[in-house]
């Protein structure tokens, strides 16, 4: 049988054809970049600065060339609304999500059209407010156990200085555990054995693919990197399959998301999700559900450590609302300032720093032609710093999120969770979790940035500290 060209190859060929027919259209302005490569080197070395510089120098609609691909970054709220909401059906996720797809398959994050609609409908009830409230106990218990571990660390610490933890790693483990317990009633870290390092390898590879714009050897070429990824993926797959098989064998309905997915049928009431489909959704939720929230929390702690006055105000609120008992779901509404601090941290450090689409049809945005096939970039990093909507954009000021101030700003100027039909399904899950974790840990500890460390950013699938985040731990007891 004749091999058909790979999707990446077909995309390259299409991109060349489109490039030839672009001369008679009004295309957005943008940097020339290097011959042939365009802005490829810039996006790989410092994408955040590239997008900021592009907006400053060329305006709200900027065209970048990446080899054969054209990418248009948009910043006007009305255009973002068009792409994410009004004409959402005229876009697919961009091919740069293919790296992620190697990891999560065709789960909710990466699937399209009919299949995506079915899965989204199926999963939405699992994220209903009432159900989420039931998860709050797990969130607090896991955070309390981490605080207990920190207590022990402080108690056993010898030496003149305070004990140090890598807060980023610790928060990744914490949110990983919470997702396992809440959505799959599973202690992932027990089952996982080697899952932690394997997941880190898998994620690192997905990140690598995302920033390399697909111009890397395809997965079947046995490069050391591809082989490492394959081995790690096998470990992750075995764990996920183990969870599914165990649940199938026990026939127990625990009422969690996995039970809902297993019980769901199509319109005929006959066809259930295959093990492969279940695996993709489980992997998607484990990944999407822990990475992002851990980044949001890490950046929040970093900002609080740099802004002691704001930190004192958060701690005072936690004391006033919870006293000495651990926070609970009843406190969520009253932890109002804490919520604004998290919102503002996600403005400055949006965990999902780039949302990408590919146009399926020719269209116009901001008076410019956007030919079918163009990649459209929506960068919360840049949009959240747009001086037209955010005075003193680099300043950390949680009161930007007072209700009356929010009401006065146009929508689609703040989009840490995206927007339109593909908006994050876990938005409330994440916000409840972030509040409860922050309140539980801050109630008992203050964390201070260890001085002199390299806090460079890594803008991969999520926005993370490139070298972890070391913090001195000080018990409030």
Cα separation, 462 vs 44, in Å, equals 15
How far is the CA of 105 from the CAs of 73, 101, 195, 433, in angstroms? Answer: 27, 5, 18, 26
Q: What size, in residues, is the chain?
A: 477
**List 273, 425, 438, 447, residue binding ligand HEM (CB under 6 A):** 425
Letters for 257-296 (x = contact with ligand HEM by CB under 6 A, - = none) are: ---------------------------xx--xx--xx--x
Q: Is 232 in the site for ligand HEM (CB under 6 A)?
A: no
Letters for 426-445 (x = contact with ligand HEM by CB under 6 A, - = none) are: x--xx---------------
Cα separation, 67 vs 46, in Å, equals 17
Measured from the CB of residue 169, what is the shortest distance to ligand HEM in angstroms?
17
Exposed, middle or buried: residue 307 (CB in 10 Å: 0-12, 13-18, 19+)?
middle
Dihedral angle over CA of 387, 391, 397, 400, nearest 10: -90
3-class state of residue 226 by DSSP: helix
Q: Is 418 in the site for ligand HEM (CB under 6 A)?
A: yes
Tell me whether residue 162 or residue 424 sits nearer to ligand HEM (CB atom).
424
Q: Which of 289, 255, 298 is nearest to 139 (CA)?
A: 289
* Binding region for ligand HEM (CB under 6 A) out of 203-211, 271-279, 331-339, 414-422: 414-422
Tell me whether residue 92 or residue 389 sits nearer to ligand HEM (CB atom).
92
Tell me whether residue 38 or residue 417 sits nearer to ligand HEM (CB atom).
417
Q: Is 359 in the site for ligand HEM (CB under 6 A)?
A: no
Letters for 165-194 (x = contact with ligand HEM by CB under 6 A, - = none) are: --------------x---------------
Tell me whether residue 105 or residue 289 sits nearer to ligand HEM (CB atom).
289
* Cβ proximity of 35 and 29 under 8 Å: no
Tell me whether residue 31 or residue 420 sits nearer to ligand HEM (CB atom).
420
Measured from the CB of residue 338, what is the shortest distance to ligand HEM in angstroms?
14
Say how many residues touch ligand HEM, by CB under 6 A: 24
Q: In the Cβ-directed half-sphere of 115, how many Cα atoms lie within 13 Å?
A: 12
Phi and psi at residue 401, to the nearest 5° = -105, 20
* Cβ proximity of 55 and 386 under 8 Å: yes
- The residues pairing with 415 across neighbouring beta strands, listed in sequence order, are none
Tell me whether residue 70 or residue 433 sits nearer to ligand HEM (CB atom).
433
* Binding region for ligand HEM (CB under 6 A) out of 46-54, 200-208, 417-425, 447-455: 417-425
Q: Is 40 in the site for ligand HEM (CB under 6 A)?
A: no
Measured from the CB of residue 420, what is the shortest distance to ligand HEM in angstroms?
8
Phi and psi at residue 377, to the nearest 5° = -105, 130
Tell me whether residue 56 or residue 117 sits nearer to ligand HEM (CB atom).
117
**List 19, 120, 191, 474, residue binding ligand HEM (CB under 6 A):** 120
- Residue whose beta carbon is closest to ligand HEM: 426
Measured from the CB of residue 255, what is the shortest distance to ligand HEM in angstroms?
16
**List 417, 437, 441, 447, residue binding ligand HEM (CB under 6 A):** 417
Q: Which of 354, 328, 334 is nearest to 463 (CA)?
A: 354
Q: Which of 143, 133, 141 is nearest to 174 (CA)?
A: 143
Tell me whether residue 63 or residue 290 sits nearer to ligand HEM (CB atom).
290
Q: Is 473 in the site for ligand HEM (CB under 6 A)?
A: no
Residue 454 burial (CB count, 10 A): 8
**Residues 319-358 interacting with ligand HEM (rule: CB under 6 A):** 351-352, 355
Measured from the CB of residue 222, what is the shortest distance to ligand HEM in angstroms?
31
Asked whether the CA dihedral 108, 50, 215, 460 is positive or negative, the reply is: negative
Q: Is 299 in the site for ligand HEM (CB under 6 A)?
A: no
Burial 141-167 (b: 16+ CB within 10 A, else e): bbbbebbeebeeebeeeeeeebbbbbb
Tell me whether residue 143 or residue 293 sits nearer to ligand HEM (CB atom).
293
Long-range contacts of 25-28, Cβ-Cβ distance < 8 Å, separation of 24 or more: 25/369, 25/371, 26/367, 26/368, 26/369, 27/63, 27/70, 27/368, 27/369, 28/58, 28/61, 28/62, 28/63, 28/72, 28/366, 28/368
Measured from the CB of residue 386, what is the shortest distance to ligand HEM in angstroms?
17
Measured from the CB of residue 422, what is the shortest distance to ligand HEM in angstroms?
4
Asked whether the CA dihedral 285, 378, 90, 31 is positive or negative, the reply is: negative
Q: Which residues bind ligand HEM (CB under 6 A)?
A: 93, 108-109, 120, 179, 284-285, 288-289, 292-293, 296, 351-352, 355, 416-418, 422, 424-426, 429-430
């Amino acid at each position: 049988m004749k091999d058909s060209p790979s999707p990446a190859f077909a995309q390259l060929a299409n991109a060349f054809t489109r490039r030839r027919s672009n001369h008679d259209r009004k295309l957005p302005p943008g940097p020339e970049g290097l011959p042939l490569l365009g802005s490829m080197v810039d996006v790989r070395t410092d994408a955040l600065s590239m997008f900021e510089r592009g907006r400053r120098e060329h305006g709200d609609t900027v065209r970048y060339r990446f080899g054969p691909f054209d990418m248009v970054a948009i910043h006007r709220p009305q255009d973002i609304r068009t792409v994410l909401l009004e004409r959402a059906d005229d876009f697919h996720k961009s091919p740069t999500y293919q790296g992620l797809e190697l990891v999560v398959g065709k789960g909710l994050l990466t699937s399209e059209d009919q299949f995506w609609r079915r899965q989204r409908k199926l999963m939405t009830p699992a994220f209903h407010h009432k159900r989420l409230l039931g998860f709050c106990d797990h969130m607090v218990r896991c955070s309390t156990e981490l605080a207990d571990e920190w207590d022990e660390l402080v108690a056993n610490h010898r030496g003149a200085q305070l004990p140090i933890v890598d807060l980023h790693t610790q928060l990744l483990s914490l949110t990983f555990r919470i997702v396992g317990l809440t959505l799959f009633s599973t202690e992932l870290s027990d089952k996982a054995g080697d899952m932690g390092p394997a997941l880190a390898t898998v994620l690192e590879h997905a990140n690598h693919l995302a920033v390399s714009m697909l111009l890397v050897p395809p997965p079947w070429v046995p490069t050391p990197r591809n082989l490492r990824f394959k081995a790690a993926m096998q470990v992750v797959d075995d764990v996920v399959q183990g969870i599914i098989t165990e649940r199938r064998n026990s026939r127990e309905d625990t009422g969690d998301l996995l039970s809902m997915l297993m019980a769901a049928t199509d319109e005929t009431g006959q066809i259930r999700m295959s093990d492969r489909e279940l695996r993709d959704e489980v992997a998607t939720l484990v990944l999407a559900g822990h990475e992002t929230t851990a980044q949001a929390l890490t950046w929040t702690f970093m900002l609080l450590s740099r802004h002691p006055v704001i930190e004192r105000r958060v701690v005072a609120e936690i004391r006033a609302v919870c006293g000495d008992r651990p926070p609970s779901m009843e406190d969520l509404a009253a932890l109002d300032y804490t919520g604004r601090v998290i919102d503002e941290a996600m403005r400055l450090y949006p965990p999902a720093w780039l949302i990408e689409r590919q146009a399926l049809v020719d269209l116009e945005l901001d008076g410019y032609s956007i030919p079918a096939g163009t990649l459209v970039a929506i960068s919360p990093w840049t949009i959240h710093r747009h001086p037209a909507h955010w005075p003193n954009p680099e300043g950390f000021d949680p009161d930007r999120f007072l209700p009356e101030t929010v009401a006065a700003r146009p929508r689609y100027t703040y989009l840490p969770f995206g927007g339109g039909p593909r908006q994050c399904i876990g938005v409330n899950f994440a916000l409840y979790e972030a509040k409860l974790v922050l309140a539980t840990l801050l109630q008992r500890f203050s964390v201070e940035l260890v001085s002199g460390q390299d806090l460079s950013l890594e803008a991969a699938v999520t926005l993370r500290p490139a070298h972890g985040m070391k913090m001195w731990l000080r018990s409030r007891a």
